[in-house]
Structure 1
Amino acid sequence: MRRLIPTGEAMRPVEFTDVPQPAPEPHEVLIRVEAFALNRGETFLLERAPSELLPGKDIAGLVVQAAADGSGPGVGTRVVGHPPQGGWAEYAAVPTHSLAVLPDGIDSVRASALPLAGITALRLLRTAGSLTGRRVLLTGASGGVGHYVTELAAAAGAELTVVTATPERGKRLAELGAAEVVHDVAAARGPFDVVLESTGGPQLPLAVSKVRRGGVVIWFGQASRTPATLDFFELLGGPERVTIQHFHYAGAPYGDDLAALVRLVERGRLHPEIGRTADWTETADTLVDLRERRIRGKAVLTTGAHR
């Protein structure tokens, strides 16, 4: 089968190689991959990728070999999965606790855009707690996670302000329920009960300054790739008793959250925002464009077997 592997080259981050099909563990199914999604964090990982790295964590496709231990769906079932690695290939082995069955109304392109970004959004909002009637600020809002957070937070009753680089990127977020779109954290009209911060660098202390007394900043990314510096004396002059909390989405099992995301999409309550769909022969170029912020939302590649 064909698989994409890292090259170590910035302008051509991956290339095809021929390898045997993976041999699933007893608790894994073998999936014929129809579509997979890229994540911007993966573009950074590829810059320093070890030769043994098998990239790819967001896939959708067809079960062609059931799990030997009897768990999970049977052969012929369409699924969305979140494997630990190896998803950018014709076939991938996925633990049965990290996949969900797809209904006929959700195609593999939309489904593959759900796992990492969607699970992150769900778990981030659970960490934030009830948002009904609360003022929320979201930075770095025009990526895959940001679109899901915006739609889910607005539906939960939050008064949401989002930060995007350009008005064009903010337009869709307003349609998804954002109450206000700004293009710099400094322009956000606080104070906010909750700040969801994903850019790091100089934006983090700015975000902290926007929190009300007793509010919380949940720091879940560093898209700027710039180290953040917090001045304790400046903090003393800002909101009292502010909480700064680090968040990371990881922690299997993922199946229940994937199933929840699928139900939301099926019921029209969540809309995967896909900025580009292309054949997987264009993966290298798409990775570069995603890294350089030329794609809004998710980027999805199809293998030719997609439905």
Structure 2
Amino acid sequence: MKALVATGDAVEPVRFAEVEQPQPGPGEVLVKVEAFSVNRGETFQLEAPRDGWRPGKDVAGLVVQAAADGSGPAVCRRVVGHPPAAGWAEYVCVPVSSLAELPDSVDAVRAAALPLAGLTALRLLRTVGAVAGRRVLLTGASGGVGHYFTELAAAAGAELTVVTASPERGRRLAELGAAEVVHGLGEARGPYDLVLESTGGDNLPLALARLDRRGTLVWFGQASRTPATLNFFDFFAGPESAALRHFHYADSDVPDGEDLATLVRLVGAGRLTPEIGLVAPWERTATTLTDLRDRRIRGKAVLTVA
């Protein structure tokens, strides 16, 4: 079968290759991939790929071989999945615990835009707990996680301020429920009960300074790829006794499949909107990756497999 493999070349980070069609193991199904989405974090992994690793964690398609143990969806069921890797291919094996079936109302393109970004947003909201009436600040809001979190948190009653450098993205985030849009952390007035920080570098201490006393900062990314420096005494300048929490979306007590089913249900009901900035055939994956890495795509980029 055809699959995209990593090259280690910054200009053309993936190329097509012929590889063996995978055989599902216990508790896995074989999915014929119809669409997959790419994430900016994957562009970083492609800079120094591990031997034998093939990228691809967000897929949607059709089950063509059911799990041998009888678990999971049957053959010909449409699904969205979050495999550990190797999803940028004609076929991929996916654990049944990382799958959700799709209703007719949710197409493969929108479904493929859900897994990593949607799971992250949903689990961030679960991590911070009840947000109704609380003042929340979200940095790096232009990406897929930012859009999903904005819509989910606004629906849950948060008074949400989002940080985005893009006026266009800011207008869309306001439509999705953001109470305030700022184009730099310096414009965020605060103080906030919760801060969700995804950029790192100089922005982390700036975000911390906008936290209220005994507030919580959840650090869920470092898009700047620059380490942050914190000063213990800065906590006394306002966010006294504040908590700083590290977040990793994969550290969840809820299986991926259950959370994917929740996301699919919300999309089908019109309560969650995948923001898709690009849909293209998978022959354009290499250029799409460089455009995503260089921030020329806003929202999710989805590639379709012929």
Same fold flag (TM > 0.5): yes
Instruction: Render the CA deviation track for 1:33-73: whole Å, top value 9, x for unaligned.
Output: 00000011000010011231110000000000000011001
Letter in 2 for 1:161: T
- SS of the counterpart of 1:97? helix
Amino acid at match of 1:289: D
Query: SS at the partner of 1:160?
Result: strand
Report if aligned partners of 1:6, 1:51 keep a CA contact under 8 Å in 2. Answer: no
CA RMSD of aligned residues (A): 0.8
Matches within 5 A, 1:102-181: 102-181=102-181
- In the alignment, which residue of structure 1 is the partner of 2:44? 44
Amino acid at match of 1:269: R
1:19-42: per-residue Cα shift (whole Å, max 9, x none)?
A: 110011021000000000001100
Specify every segment of 5 or more residues in structure 2 that has no aligned partner in the other structure, as ranges. Answer: none
Q: Which letter does structure 2 place at the counterpart of 1:76?
A: C
Alpha-carbon displacement from aligned partner over 1:175-197 (angstroms, at most 9, x marks no partner): 10011111111110100000000
In 1, the alpha carbon distance for the partners of 2:164 and 2:51 equals 35
Residues in 2 aligned to 1:195 and 1:251: alpha-carbon distance in whole angstroms: 20
Preserved CA contact (<8 Å) 1:219 1:247: yes
Distance 1:159 1:169 in 2: 18
**Distance in 1 between the 2:167 and 2:132 partners?**
26
| 1:68-119 Cα deviation digits (max 9, x unpaired) | 0110011000000000011000000000000000001110000000000000
Correspondence for 1:54: 54
Offset of 1:251 from its aligned partner? 4.0
TM-score normalised to the size of structure 2?
0.98
Most deviating of 136-145 and 42-51: 42-51
Matched residues in 2 for 1:166 and 1:62: separation? 36
Q: Which runs of 5+ in 1 are unaligned?
A: none
Provide the residue aligned with 1:285 in structure 2. Answer: 287
| Counterparts of residues 1-307 of structure 1 (less than 5 Å) | 1-251=1-251, 253-304=255-306
Task: Give the Cα–Cα distance (whole angstroms) in 1 for the partners of residues 237 and 195 of structure 2.
Answer: 18
**Paired residue total:** 304
CA distance, structure 2, for counterparts of residue 228 and residue 81 of structure 1: 34
Name segments (4+ residues, structure 1) moved above 4 Å: none
Q: Distance in 2 between matches of 1:12 and 1:51?
A: 17
Tell which deviates more after alignment, 124-133 or 234-243.
Answer: 234-243
Counterparts of 1:251 and 1:84, CA distance in 2: 14
Shift, 1:234, TM fit:
2.0
Contact 2:142 2:166 in 1 (8 A): no
Q: CA deviation at 1:120?
A: 0.5
d(CA) in 2 for partners of 1:168, 1:237 = 34
